[in-house]
């Protein structure tokens, strides 16, 4: 059976409407009563043998030639994978059934359902593993990523709300004496900043030490100095932190402050390749629990490479933590997005 590539669509005979559109959710029905397919759909029918060739301006094309002409290999691999998993799906192109979805490249219907049922299970944005994605595009569609072996990995973003839950504790009447070093701040006594539930700093003599100095990271110290807890000039701490950490300090400080305000306890995520490891809101000593999340902070106007995203998600999954990205905007606004690897 032959078809023809016309204006970016593959036009198929009328007989294909009853064979492939109504029962299997391929393509769209044209005003002439024929079936129009997007290239990934047509490639799938070529791969199945339901189409022999597609006529194009470059001549009659088999599967390989057609994918070269249309540059649809990446979309085809994802489309084929979803079909193999038992899903019917439609392109979100205008005029196609999937166009009712407000995100992604493919609208995927629940197993056993199709476009006629009117319910979209999820949407998929198609990309390859060398691409980058804008943070503003994360949070609605699943990412279907095709690697160099033509394998598909799916990542599900989820927008998170981190509303303030906890007011910054009232500082003591007399700020706590502290020493500002080039890379950290030292406080004389481990109990100077309240009980361990606050989990500020780390005893310098060891995690279980009950006496001796307490060390604070520059991010922690900047937060506490601004809140009036430390007998240090907040601007001096900020200047030292900016000199040590660089331009990212402002972003890290904003994320730290929002996490604290939401009741979370952020600590260094260095051992996990992240900016923070984060303990959930709790009245208990956070040291008695495992951190629940890893947080990576980056500017919202900087696209993130898919390979970087995959690295963070994979590492977080390996230590049974949720991977969260804090995308920072102007005026310290932050978009929080959790991303997990999923199997549709």
Which tokens go with 202?
């780390």
231 closest CA partner among 187, 182, 181: 187
* Ordered DSSP codes for 300-336: TTSPEEHHHHHHHHHHHHHTT-EEEEEEE-GGG-EEE
86 closest CA partner among 111, 121, 116: 111
Active site includes 267? no
Query: Of the residues 21, 115, 296, 321, which is catalytic?
Result: 321
How far is 327 from 262, CA to CA, in rounded Å? 16
> Under 8 Å CB-to-CB from 67, ≥6 apart: which residues?
39, 43, 73, 76
Phi and psi based region of residue 3 (left: phi greater than 0; alpha: psi -120 to 50; beta: remaining):
beta
Task: Specify whether the CB–CB gap between 106 and 91 falls below 8 A.
Answer: yes
User: What are the Cα distances from residue 72, in Å, to 80, 145, 200, 256, 292?
Assistant: 12, 14, 53, 43, 40
In the numeric block, the tokens 């509303």 are attached to 163
Query: Of the residues 290, 296, 312, 329, which is catalytic?
Result: 290
Which tokens go with 109?
């219907």
- Phi/psi at 143 (5° precision): -90, 125
Active site includes 290? yes
Active site includes 80? no
How far is 248 from 280, CA to CA, in rounded Å? 24
Task: Specify whether the CB–CB gap between 132 and 151 falls below 8 A.
Answer: no
Q: Cα angle vertex 111, ends 105, 112, to 5°?
A: 120
Which tokens go with 45?
């029918």
Query: Of the residues 256, 279, 296, 312, which is catalytic?
Result: 279
Q: Which residues are catalytic?
A: 279, 290, 321
């Amino acid at each position: 059976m032959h078809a023809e590539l016309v204006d970016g669509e593959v036009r198929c005979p009328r007989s294909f409407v009853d064979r492939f559109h109504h029962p299997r959710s391929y393509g769209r029905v044209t005003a002439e009563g024929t079936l129009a397919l997007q290239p990934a759909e047509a490639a799938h029918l070529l791969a199945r043998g339901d189409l022999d060739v597609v006529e194009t301006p470059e001549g009659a094309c088999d599967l390989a030639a057609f994918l070269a002409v249309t540059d649809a290999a990446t979309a085809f691999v994802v489309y084929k994978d979803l079909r193999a998993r038992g899903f019917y799906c439609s392109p979100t192109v205008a005029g196609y059934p999937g166009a009712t979805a407000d995100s992604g490249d493919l609208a995927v219907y629940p197993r056993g359902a199709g476009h006629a049922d009117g319910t979209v299970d999820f949407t998929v944005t198609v990309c390859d593993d060398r691409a980058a994605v804008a943070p503003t595009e994360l949070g609605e569609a699943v990412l279907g990523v095709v690697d160099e072996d033509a394998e598909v990995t799916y990542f599900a973003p989820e927008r998170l709300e981190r509303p303030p839950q906890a007011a910054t504790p009232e500082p003591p009447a007399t700020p706590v004496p502290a020493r500002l070093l080039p890379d950290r701040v030292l406080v004389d006594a481990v109990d100077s900043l309240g009980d361990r539930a606050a989990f500020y700093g780390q005893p310098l003599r060891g995690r279980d030490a009950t006496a001796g100095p307490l060390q604070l990271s520059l991010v922690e110290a900047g937060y506490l100095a601004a809140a009036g807890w430390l007998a240090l000039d907040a601007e001096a701490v900020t200047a030292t932190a900016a000199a040590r950490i660089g331009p990212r300090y402002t972003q890290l400080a904003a994320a730290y402050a929002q996490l604290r305000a939401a009741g979370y306890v952020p600590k260094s995520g260095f051992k996990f390749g992240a900016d923070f490891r984060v303990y959930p809101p709790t009245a208990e000593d956070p040291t008695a629990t495992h951190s629940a999340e890893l947080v990576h902070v980056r500017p919202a106007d900087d696209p993130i490479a898919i390979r970087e995203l995959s690295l963070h998600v994979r590492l977080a999954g390996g230590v049974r933590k949720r991977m969260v990205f804090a995308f920072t905007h102007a005026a310290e606004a932050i978009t929080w997005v959790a991303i997990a690897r999923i199997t549709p």
